[in-house]
Amino acid sequence: MAQFVDWDLAAATAGALGKSGPKVTYAEATNVVGDLRRLTDEAAGHVADYTGLRAQVTHPPVRVVDRRDWAAANIDGLREVISPLVSRLTGDKRPGAITEAIGSRLTGVQAGTVLAYLSGRVLGQYEVFSSDPGQLLLVAPNIVEVERKLGADPRDFRLWVCLHEVTHRTQFTAVPWMRAYFLGEVQAFVDASSGNEHLLERLRRGVATLSDAIRDPESRTSVLDIVQTPAQRAVLDRLTALMTLLEGHAEFVMDGVGPEVIPSVDRIRAAFNRRREAGNPLEKAIRRLLGVDIKMRQYAEGRKFVHGVVERVGMEGFNKIFGSPLTLPRLEELGDPDAWVARVHGPVGPVQATG
């Protein structure tokens, strides 16, 4: 089978280029791991009580990982998704031993470079590619590093992070069709390509663009340049609407639960927002290329949408959004909660309670 990425080389590159974590003693590291596991369980209770959503499928326990393990887990997930797609697109035709070896190794180094950068930034992730229904990952060294930089209370900051990530886990485990829908849209994006060979080349260019930007902050190319066909843009609109909803919902839950269980939540939120907005020129370039700037807007726009819907129809009414793919918000509805409420609920009376 043709190999698009040398995954072993990608893992080795990510491990070699990933920056070292903050200095901690063995006892401190053990305490952080135990704390994050305990706080994940505590957050799960708060999220379930606040949202009314409860897992409908069994999920594995949280994995507290270091940067290298986070990169390895994502490489496993990407391998599960990309390898079958490449096989289908190429019909298992090998491009030639030299071309394949050079191309896959180059892409492996580039992918590893991107993952090395991200491994030092991500606090947590609900990873859905490599297993069903997915697995919650918390990156301990990044959490410790950020809480120290912010001067945050460790227990409060860790619970705050857990609330966000557990909400994502809840979205995929309380809504059993969510993972299949998300993966189906990724597949639809690939299927909407104007040509199989062109798609593979654009994917290679996308990985190369991200890798180059880490070395060259003056780069102005966007990874979204790989999106060329109208059909792909239609799929991307649906994926954007979904991710904006999920991120906004997690932000809304964090802000709803936080004041009740995290004494210093206001200070943490203010400091964390300043951290999001800050960054040196290289980091700003990377954020743009990786879509992090878009993600930041998704946090704000999604939270505003969720708040608007809950304000109008209450939490139980909002949860109808997870009834089926047809009740998910359309991209244009994210700025108009009334439009979503009218489409899904029909005319509503006075504003209902938000509990």
199 and 77, same domain (yes or no): no
Task: Return the higher-pLDDT residue of 92 and 32.
Answer: 32
181 and 158, same domain (yes or no): no
Structure confidence by residue, pLDDT tens digits, 96-105? 554 555 678 8
Residue 262 and residue 105: Cα distance in Å, rounded? 47
Give the per-residue pLDDT at 95. 56
- Examine the pLDDT at 350 and tell me if it is beyond 70: no
List the structure tokens of 312. 């109008």
How many structural domains comprise the chain? 2
How large is the average pLDDT for residues 134-154? 97
DSSP state of 56: S
Residue 257 and residue 46: Cα distance in Å, rounded? 7
Parent domain of 55: 1-174
Task: Return the higher-pLDDT residue of 40 and 1.
Answer: 40
Q: Residue 8 belongs to a domain with what CATH number?
A: 1.20.150.30
The number of residues making up the chain comes to 355
Average pLDDT, the chain: 84
Buried b (16+ CB within 10 A) or exposed e, 308-329: bbbebbbbebbbebbeeeeebb
- Examine the pLDDT at 54 and tell me if it is beyond 90: yes
127 and 192, same domain (yes or no): no
Give the per-residue pLDDT at 110. 82
Structure confidence by residue, pLDDT tens digits, 187-201? 887 777 655 555 666
State phi, psi for 124 to the nearest 5 degrees.
-160, 165
Q: Is residue 355 part of a domain?
A: no
19 and 156, same domain (yes or no): yes
Q: Is residue 324 part of a domain?
A: yes
17 and 149, same domain (yes or no): yes
State phi, psi for 138 to the nearest 5 degrees.
-120, 125
Residue 12 and residue 112: Cα distance in Å, rounded? 7
244 and 271, same domain (yes or no): yes
Structure confidence by residue, pLDDT tens digits, 14-31? 999 988 889 999 999 999
Give the per-residue pLDDT at 63. 98
List the structure tokens of 35. 């704390």
Residue 174 and residue 188: Cα distance in Å, rounded? 24
Residues 6+ apart with CB under 8 A from 74: 115, 118, 125, 127
Give the per-residue pLDDT at 218. 54
How large is the average pLDDT for residues 119-135? 93
- Burial tier of 48 (Cβ tally within 10 Å: 0-12, 13-18, 19+): middle
93 and 24, same domain (yes or no): yes
How large is the average pLDDT for residues 284-297? 56
Q: Kindly write down the DSSP assignment for every residue of 195-264, as one continuous string.
A: -HHHHHHHHHHHHHHHHHHHH-TT----GGGG--SHHHHHHHHHHHHHHHHHHHHHHHHHHHHHHHH-TT
Q: Is residue 145 part of a domain?
A: yes
